[in-house]
Structures are given as C-alpha cells and as structure tokens.
Amino acid sequence: MTILITGGAGFIGSAFILEWVDEVKEKVVNLDKLTYAGNLDNLAGLSQDAHELVVGDIADRDIVTSLLAKHKPWAILNLAAESHVDRSIYAPASFMDTNVLGTFNLLEVARSYYETLSGYEKDKFRFLHVSTDEVFGSLSPCDPPFNEETPYRPNSPYSASKAAADHLVRAYFKTYNLPVITTNCSNNYGPRQFPEKFIPLLILNAAADKNLPVYGDGQQIRDWIFVADHCRALREVLFKGQPGETYCIGGNQEKTNLELVHEVCEIIDQKLPSPDGLSRTTRIAHVTDRPGHDRRYAIDDRKIREKLGFRPKWTFEAGLKATVEWYFDNPGWVERVQSGAYRKWVELHYGSKNKKGD
C-alpha cells in the first residue's frame, strides 16, 4: 500500500511523513518541488523502502500521471503550497501557480486515475486537500470561531489562492464524484519549521540576542496547534473522514502575538540567560504592520471531535518548550537553513537528475 504526498519536504509534510512511516508503516511517495522551504534534512534517515522522493512540480501533468500509474496510491495528500503571507504580498504570482493551477492539475490527473479504478480500490481511494483557516478572513475579538459553515473572506493573495483551491476541490466532488476531503487548520508550530515563520524566527533571534520584530501593536490573535497534533488529525481524517466533507482542525489555544513573544522569551531566558542580564522582552521591536493583516483567527473544532474523535494532545506550553529545545539541540540544521547550504546540497544531488524519477 502506498500514498502520494505533495510538498512532503516542507514543515507539515515532512512531519506527517515521519509519523506516517513510524505509525502506519506504509510507503510514501513524496513529490516536492524543493523550493526554499523544502528541506531534505527534514527527512534524513528514512529508507528508500519507506520514502521515495521525486523532485517535481505538482503543475507538471506528466510527472503526476506517471507517479499514479507507477505506484497506484490509495490516497493523495496535497500539502504542496506557497504559504507565507508576506511573500504573497510582494510576489503573488507563484502562489497562483502552485496553490491554484497546481491544485487544479492534481485534481484533473486524480480524476483520470480514479476513473481507472474499480471495486475495493475505488471505494478506498481518497484525495485529501490540506488548507488553512486564513480562507475565512478575520474575526473581531467577540466573534465566534470559524467552523465548516463559515463563509470565505480571504484577505491576502495567499489566503485567496488557498480559497480558490478549496473551491476547486469542492467542485470536483460535486461535479465528478471524486472522493475529496478538505481540512482547514489553524497556525502550526513545532520542530523543523522554516525560520522566516514567526515562532522559529523568535526563537533564533532571541537566542542570538537580536531584535524580536512584532507587527503593529502585537495584539493579533492566532489559534496555535502543535504540528504533531495536526498530523494525527490528518491521519484520522484520511481513515475516517467522509468524502465531500470539510473538517476544521484547531488547537483551542488562542494567543496574541505579543503574549507569544513573552512566552518564548521566558523559556529562552531560563535556558540561556542574556549576557546583559536583561529579559529578551527588552528586544521587542514593533514594526509597521503588514497590509491587510488579519486581526484574529480561531477554530471551532467540534465537528472533528464529535465525528472522528480527534482531540489535540499537546498543550501550547509543552509544545512551545519542545520546539525551543529542538532548535537548541539542532544547530546544524539551523546553520544549513540560514546559510542556504541545504539548497546547494539539493542542487548537487538533484539538479542534473531526471526529475520524473525514472
């Protein structure tokens, strides 16, 4: 039995693969374009029998078609995405190419593949599309959390591209009966996250006694979920979720950005006191807010709790401490990411190879 994961060298994708191989023990074929956030260090130690990497673009129909024909996966998990809001504001084209056109291509190829299946194989097949809570827009402090019926109101090129992909996925279920499932998850954090994201940026800057940039007044609120819990939720959805359904996944742990900074500083101050004896909170630097910055995200996860029995295991405090410890314990990973050395390794080993994996 084999599954195909797109974007499996990224933060969430690699975490899912590591847990899948450990817990489910089925082979994973991983199609990843290996952009700036795709890091093979995240998958170090996996055997070829457990994990096969194919370097390629989800928008390349020939590659996707050949992988489905060769491996005959019982599920496709689409985690390939451009995902950083700041990048989408200044360079939105790649978000449209990957998140919209790439998802469209996957759906088209999956539809053709699904039509060749019969019996048990057809009944078992699933297309799991992993999305974000940002498609729902912004909440005020008193608004009820997002749920599966919340209207879409995306406010950034990133969230708009993900919203478009979500609509395409839904349309392929309604029009073609492709057995798709969509998940919309809150903010993830944990080991191996690319350090332009908020939590690893804070950890690494605080450890290096650098300024800690905070947008605007720092009162933006996010619901945080530890990446291992998100991966567990995805497994539950894949095994128990119903085709055509959407499931909101959250950690029920809302924090303002400023509260988050203070918690990171407290952990690092205890672990590595600052040379000047001051708390790292003195290095908080409020910077100009980004355009269209959503004020609050929150998830009502009653559906996945009641229908699939999923509940997060990690408290935010335990998850944040484990995350800080991981970055302190893996300076080599951090150095290679920050220096770009991992990109040179990828080019050396994969740049001249046939990207179709033939």
> Annotated catalytic sites, by residue?
133-134, 158
Question: Hey, is 313 helix, strand or coil?
Answer: coil
Q: Pick the closest to residue 128 from 276, 255, 13 (CA basis).
A: 13
Q: Which residues contact 329 (CB under 8 A, 6 or more apart)?
A: none
CA 97 – CA 108 distance, rounded (Å): 15
Beta strands, E only, 70-144 = 75-78, 126-132
> In the β-sheet with 246-249, what is the strand arrangement from edge to edge?
51-55, 27-32, 2-6, 75-78, 126-132, 180-185, 246-249
Task: Let me know the angle formed at the C-alpha of 88 by 102 and 301, rounded to the nearest 5 degrees.
Answer: 75
In order of 131, 219, 325, the CA distances from 128 in angstroms are: 10, 33, 32
Angle, helices 198-207/257-271, rounded to nearest 10 degrees: 40
Q: Pick the closest to residue 57 from 102, 12, 87 (CA basis).
A: 102
CA 157 – CA 275 distance, rounded (Å): 41
In order of 154, 240, 280, 284, 304, the CA distances from 309 in angstroms are: 29, 10, 40, 40, 6
Angle, helices 227-240/11-23, rounded to nearest 10 degrees: 60
Q: Which residues contact 71 (CB under 8 A, 6 or more apart)?
A: 2, 4, 29
How far is C-alpha 199 from the chain's CA centre? 14
Q: Which residues contact 191 (CB under 8 A, 6 or more apart)?
A: 15, 227, 322, 323, 326, 327, 330
